[in-house]
Structure 1
Amino acid sequence: MILRPPPSRSRSARRLGAAGVAGASAVLLTGCFSADPGAAGGDGGTGGRIEVAMLQPPRSGLSPLSDDAFKLSRWSTAETLVRLDEAGEAQPQLATDWQQLDGTTWSFTIRDGVTFHDGTALTADNAAAALQHAANASPAPRILDGVQMEVDAEGDTVRVTTAETDPLVPQRLSSPQLAILAPAAYEGTAVDPVGHGTGPFELTGVDGTSGATLDRYEDHWNGPAAAAGIDVSFVPDGTARAAALRTGEADVVEAVPVGQAARIEQDLLQEVPMPRTNTVYLNTEQGPFADPAIRAAAREALDPGAVVEGVYEGRADEAAGLLGPAIPYAAAGRDAGAYRTALADRAQPEDPQGRKITIGTFTDRAELPEVAVQLQQQLEAAGFEVDLDVREYQYIEADALEGEFDAFILSRATVLDSGDPVAYLVSDFGCEGSFNLSQFCSEAVDAALDRAEKATPGEERRAAIMEAEAAILAEDAAIPLLHERVIQGEQSGVAGAARDPRERELVTAETTVAE
């Protein structure tokens, strides 16, 4: 990749660098998504630049084939054929419409009048080439893990063919890792996003792991953005990010630490529910929790509300199921009669009578060791004898996957890149699941997961997902504790910043900051 140094940074960006050095020595899910990309563009105003402090620097040179793609998406510089709405349904972006031609073939019509930031016109040919480049990459983008995909152009359409029937092809194409960049981006050994996107902001410079500069792209297909540009600083230190918000050095701040929140004016903090659940996985294959009645005893003993208040200072949501408020249909799905009937058949708890259990967790997420201590106290009060095993994740993952613990506490993303929770449910609770910490296998659950995998996106799939959740909880394979929130900082003059639980959007065409 060719990295061009950014132009002279504004006052706030320069101060953020100092804040980073010094640091080293509740609005919920509303307005996250535009109703229609055709109404998303700004009016081409003369708004000022937006200063953004981000949590992590690039890890792969801002390659769109890596997790760095989510930065390009959050800066509105790289766009995909499809975007997702709040419910996870596919909506037009660089493709205006699509249809499924047969069980494995989809056709996407490319939007007319789109240009890349280097002036090249978007065509079906270069869109297909970009997608095929991603499909051929090694390692493959995470969204294509296990998916064989061939892409070609036909007239003004892109044709996508998969080896197996996949009802989520449009949702997959919404992943930031499948952004469409100009042909010149693919000429070197690495994919170069600088000056090669189609979004309302052009990435004009990257300063290593320090920052990035983006300028308004005046010829965006939906009209110019409201702000003149974005100045990004990468500030891994949480104290420094909080200080940048508190002192006004940054307009928008990613991931303000819970421990810093009390020191900041509360009207500058926006709490966004995340599709991430803290869950206790119970070993259903061996040990005390192989007995459904003892699993039920653990479920009855745990008090998630105390964990939310004691560890997360109230900045999390007590879990009603595996899927939290970031999944907008989950709560309503639990009102269905079939869901309630499934849970009514749960095993009844028995006295654990001093049974000894070992709970594992890891230190990489700062809250989890404290969560483990609280759960230890709650379970011991109910009659269990509890030992804790807490290590760094890299040293404990293999043991957890092998079923070496009676229980394991994990903070788990429940919606992966397709915006759909089925992959998570299959991975964690399917008999052949690749991340089955509970060593769990149930014919009834596998049947429910199979129905969910095959269901058409929309109401049918949502109902099948909730049916699968109920089947899993009915057997107490896992005890969901809480759903995390991320705290996003915004200065009082900021308007239109996205509060996106999937962390795909942040600064959009509508975002402005008062001068």
Structure 2
Amino acid sequence: MKKWYKRYITWFCMALCILALVGCSAKEEQVSALSKEENENTATLAFSWSPSGLDPHSADSWEIMRSGAAETLIKLSKELVPEPWLAKSWEQVDETTWLFELQENVKFHNGKAMDATAVKDSLQRAIDNHQGTKDLLKIKTIEAVSKTQLKIQTTEVNAALISNLADPGTIIMDVDSLDSEDSYPAFTGAFVVKQFNQDESLIVQRYEDYWGDKAKLDEVTIKYISDANTRLMALQSGDVDGATDISVEYIEVLGKNEQLEVLTAQSLRTHLVMYNMDSPLFKQLAVRKVVDSLIPRQEMMDSVLMGQGTVAVGPFSSILQFGQLDQMEENQSVDGLMEQDGWSKNRDGLWEKDGKVFEATFLTFPQRPELTVLAEVIQSKLLEQGMKVNIRQVENIDETLVNEEWDLAMYSMLTAHTGSPHFFLETFYKTDSASNMNHFASRTVDAMIDEMHGTTDPEKSTELAIEIQEEIAEEVPHSYIVHPNTVFAVNKDLQGFEALPIEYYYNHANIDKE
């Protein structure tokens, strides 16, 4: 009995010792993990737009580029000058042939080497999968001349090819990586995708085998927050270190916070009203002219945007040579134009035709909250003149424009994101363009755009771009309102995060956190 008792006591003491050792080990591991987490240099950013997926050759290419995970052959400088990126250099062999020398020692995120064949496959997929990219590049053939040399032949003279290769739709990737269900697409950027949660977040981490200067941050979490107020509160609470697309009404509030800094830049973006040319209300030019004439641009610039931007005369900012247009004035009165189209005022002071009151659906979206405010101002001005407009906010403006009925829509576009006028004029105004969402059609404009694409002389190209805009302005398919400034805000501990005219180099290797 005593022997059994002594043995029991011995076992019990040994068990206590083992538990104590396990407990100490667990605590040490926990402290070690905590220490490692604290030592990691990480940042969290809030973006307003969420991609539906990570396929770069889709409408989500901009958001993928903004993550810092992907790259193109060409990059644009702050001055919109094409610079080498994955392409080390290039030369024009003849009018339609270009030879590119690629960077050496570039690895995709899955470890495979990037060579000319891989770049060829990626570009071919880009033009096969997206009509807009195909229209931009006008590529006839792509040939891998050697491991580091790529030859591109275009279907016609394409003077803007080099700058257009900076478009996010031309992101270079290992196309075979899309076949894997166990991993994300393999790009070449300073950051590699760690985790993607649709509509919520994208987590990227430093790519240790990056061919250029390695990222200073170990990891960046990008939170997708479409609501402007929520982005602001996340910034103020410290949940995020930086936020894009800050409403101008918050600039003064943020300026009073000693830990936060507001970043602004003159952008190449244009806020505009889009008219549905197939809508019974806006098929006629006269009605489009009426709405255009009633938009109080300077008033909205001063009151809604609080001076953060410039009034728009055309689609391009006047800081660009091809954006220097003269203001066109409408000489006819509102009444004269409406009566010209068969409208008459009823007893309630509303315009009426064929027994139906003028009543339009006006789309807007939450990601750029100032657009809804601008829409409300326009709504009020039109009602004063007897035109009823019902504002409808939608989450995905592009899908709604394509798939549903509408009359008017607020829209916002980075109109010169490749540093040239070609992209916007081609995608928005060519009759057969998939991005021509308001169904504008003009053989004259189509021919002028084709001529501009074949013009290599910069001065002549600028002249043609201005003439095209003047021709388009006669038909008023859009009303250009303002060129807003880009407004971001950051915690002062975050270094290197910038507001730039170009809006897709958000996260990059040189961002750091103190």
1:364/1:214 Cα in 2 relative to 1: closer, same or farther (>3 Å)? closer
Q: Compute the displacement of 1:447 (Å).
A: 5.6
Aligned residue pairs: how many? 451
Would you say the 8 A contact 2:184–2:193 is kept in 1? no
**Corresponding residue for residue 248 of structure 1:** 238
Equivalent in 66, 69, 72 of residue 77 of structure 1: 69
* Shift in Å, 1:108: 1.2
| Deviations, residues 465-500 of structure 1 (Å, cap 9, x unaligned) | 233223433665643222234432211122221323
Which residue in the other structure is 2:331 paired with?
348
| 3-state SS of 1:91 partner | strand
Q: Secondary structure at the match of 2:41?
A: strand
Q: What CA distance in whole angstroms lies between the structure 2 residues aligned with 1:466 and 1:9? A: 61
Query: Corresponding residue for 1:421?
Result: 421
1:304 maps to what in 2?
297
Query: Larger radius of gyration, structure 1 or 2?
Result: 2
Counterpart in the other structure of 1:18 = none
Residues 189 and 88 from structure 1, CA distance in 2 versus in 1: closer, same or farther, beyond 3 angstroms? Answer: farther
Give the aligned CA root-mean-square deviation in angstroms.
4.2
**Alignment of 1:154 onto 2:145:** yes
Matches within 5 A, 1:10-409: 48-60=41-53, 62-136=54-128, 139-140=129-130, 142-144=132-134, 147=138, 149-155=140-146, 156-182=148-174, 185-188=177-180, 192-193=184-185, 196-206=186-196, 210-257=200-247, 263-265=253-255, 268-272=261-265, 273-279=267-273, 281=275, 300-324=293-317, 328-330=319-321, 333-334=323-324, 339-340=325-326, 348-350=331-333, 352=335, 355=339, 356=351, 359-365=360-366, 367-368=370-371, 370-378=373-381, 384-391=385-392, 408-409=408-409
The change in CA–CA distance for 1:202 and 1:141 in structure 2 (over 3 A counts) is farther
Once the two structures are TM-superposed, the CA of residue 505 in structure 1 deviates from its matched residue by 0.6
Judge which range, 463-472 or 347-356, deviates more: 347-356
Contact 1:282–1:438 under 8 Å retained in 2: yes
Aligned to 2:495: 495
Counterpart residue identity of residue 255, structure 1? D
Shift of 1:246: 0.9
What SS does structure 1 have at the residue aligned with 2:365? coil
Map Cα deviations across residues 34-80 of structure 1 (whole Å, 9 max, x no partner): xxxxxxxxxxxx993222223344411x2222344333322322211
Q: Find the residue that maps to 1:227 and give its secondary structure.
A: coil
Give the CA deviation at 1:375.
Answer: 2.9
Give the TM-score, by structure 1 length: 0.72
Change (3 A) 1:395 1:69: closer
- 502-511 or 312-321, which deviates more: 312-321
TM-score (norm 2): 0.72
The aligned amino acid for 1:220 is Y
Deviation at 1:362, TM superposition (A): 0.9
SS of residue paired to 2:177: helix
User: What secondary structure does 1:202 align onto?
Assistant: strand
Amino acid at match of 1:176: P
Q: Provide the rounded CA distance (Å) in 1 between the counterparts of 2:249 and 2:270.
A: 19
Give the match's secondary structure for 2:362. strand
Change (3 A) 1:478 1:470: same
Residue 109 of structure 1: how far off its partner (Å): 1.0
Deviation string 1:121-178 (CA, Å, 9 cap, x unpaired) is 3322222233234344xx4374235856542311121122344443333233323332
Asked if structure 2 preserves the Cα contact closer than 8 Å seen for 1:278 and 1:480, the reply is yes
In the TM superposition, residue 203 of structure 1 has moved relative to its aligned partner by 2.9
Aligned-residue identity in percent: 19
